[in-house]
Structure 1
Amino acid sequence: MNSVRIDRSNPDVVDVVLREEVGPLVFAARRWPGEVVGSLAAGALYGTPVYAVMAVILEQGPGRIWAAVGIAAAVGLVVNTFVILYGAFRGVTRLRFSPAAAPNTMTLVRGPRTDRPRPLTDVQQIWIDHSIVESYKRDRKPVSAKITLYVLLKNNRLIRPMPILPWTTDTTPLHQQLQQTLAPTAVQVDLVVQRRVQSPPWMVVGHGGSTGGGG
């Protein structure tokens, strides 16, 4: 399941489910194939200055340069794999509020483990940022979107849970349910929708406008 949901099946808590617990290793394994090409290309590209030095200054042959490209690509793959695994184990998959009737604590659930409960008096604001890029064509159809849920603490620390997959979640009902859940508290819950028009391919510098709305 990809869409975010509010789980009230437990009478003691309310869970904002950002990702079903399929296990961090399974989650990483599902994400890894889609990033292999990108990590290999990025690793190879970052070594460009080294290849230039090898070719121009050190006058190395093509064989050694291609070997350096392969090593850089492999390093990029290893680093990206580590980042995916780290995110799978550290990423926040649920926001848990308790007690259900009148929450006074928030707990971050990170895949296989759960953080210590945090008093809701430490939380200043929770907001959903929904950014939409619309086509430059007359129909203005959305071409991309990004949805992120943020938790701002009163010490100015920002908690960013797992990203929400676009096109799977209607942010307006989610915002309303969060407001309803946290109504007994002093936590501010907002929805910020930003729209901008993509730049036409023939324009070097984009001049797309943007609009924002807050709940």
Structure 2
Amino acid sequence: MYRVRFNRSHPEYVEVVLREGAGPLAFAARRWVEESLGMVVISGFCGIPVYVAVGWYSSDARMIWAAIGIVVALGLLANFFVLLYRAHQDVYRLRFSPATAPDTLTVVRAVRADPPRPLTAVHRIRIEHKVTLSYKADREPVAEEITLHVPVRSGRRIRPAKLPSGTTDVAALQQELQQVLAPAALEVDLVVERRVEAQTFGGHGGSTGGGGS
């Protein structure tokens, strides 16, 4: 598992590294392989009207199998391009410059960086930490979700970044980010929400309740 880290190796800026390494093509290819089986099933199911129409006009089994193959192939291709688009939109790094007293933010995506924007265009930074606790008496965490929001007053919207759960100390992240941005007087909020999963008759849980701090 990777973790969010601060890169201070460059003399001109400080980077918050949200995602390591791989470019969008590798990311999309990996996700495509992971999701390919499910996409085959979904595409095959959605293509039922096509198979019925082909079977209506032809009783040749080869025509029906050819239709199935075409529908599944189109579904897999469409899914790959959707994943590739998402990879291009995902935020990999937040770059603050100059390093000593930042007044500029540059959003680094998969293979490109957005134009620098003044930190005055950023409303404030918010870290949301949602924790789901077990319904059992021990109330042990069973799931968590960490999201970094960078809302802006103007310009291109910055997509919320999902951070790695289980390896990211959100309190430490907030404190270090606040120290970096202190010269710009930009606030970094940490919002923690805890909820207890609901016990079902089958013994499995679902989220319910809520609370924030």
- The normalised TM-score by structure 1 is 0.81
Q: CA deviation at 1:90?
A: 3.0
Give SS of 1:41's match.
helix
Aligned position for 1:212: 212
Give SS of 1:31's match.
helix
Look up the equivalent residue of 2:36 and give its one-letter code: V
Answer yes or no: is the 8 Å Cα contact 1:150–1:158 preserved in 2: no
Question: 1:154-165 residue pairs with structure 2 within 5 A?
Answer: 154-155=153-154, 158-165=157-164
Answer yes or no: is the 8 Å Cα contact 2:132–2:207 preserved in 1: no
Q: Identity over the aligned pairs, expressed in percent?
A: 50
Name the CA shift for 1:27/1:176 in 2 (closer, same or farther; >3 Å).
same
Cα separation, 2, equivalents of 1:43 and 1:145: 31
Give SS of 1:124's match.
coil
Give SS of 1:159's match.
coil
Q: CA deviation at 1:162?
A: 4.2
Aligned position for 2:181: 182
Look up the equivalent residue of 2:3 and give its one-letter code: S
Name the CA shift for 1:36/1:116 in 2 (closer, same or farther; >3 Å).
same
Question: 1:138-157 residue pairs with structure 2 within 5 A?
Answer: 138-155=137-154
Cα separation, 2, equivalents of 1:135 and 1:43: 36
Give SS of 1:114's match.
coil
Give SS of 1:130's match.
strand
Aligned position for 2:3: 3
Deviation string 1:68-115 (CA, Å, 9 cap, x unpaired) is 665544333222211211222332100000001111100011122211
Cα separation, 2, equivalents of 1:152 and 1:136: 34
Answer yes or no: is the 8 Å Cα contact 2:51–2:68 preserved in 1: no
Aligned position for 2:13: 13
Cα separation, 2, equivalents of 1:156 and 1:82: 26
Consecutive unaligned residues of structure 2, counting only runs of 5 or more, are: none
Cα separation, 1, equivalents of 2:64 and 2:196: 42
Cα separation, 1, equivalents of 2:181 and 2:123: 12
Aligned position for 2:118: 119
Answer yes or no: is the 8 Å Cα contact 1:192–1:212 preserved in 2: yes
Answer yes or no: is the 8 Å Cα contact 2:51–2:67 preserved in 1: no
Cα separation, 2, equivalents of 1:165 and 1:69: 38
Answer yes or no: is the 8 Å Cα contact 1:149–1:160 preserved in 2: no
Aligned position for 1:81: 80
- The normalised TM-score by structure 2 is 0.82
Cα separation, 2, equivalents of 1:196 and 1:208: 6
Residues paired across the two proteins, number: 211
Question: 1:87-126 residue pairs with structure 2 within 5 A?
Answer: 87-126=86-125
Give the alignment's Cα RMSD to 1 decimal: 3.1
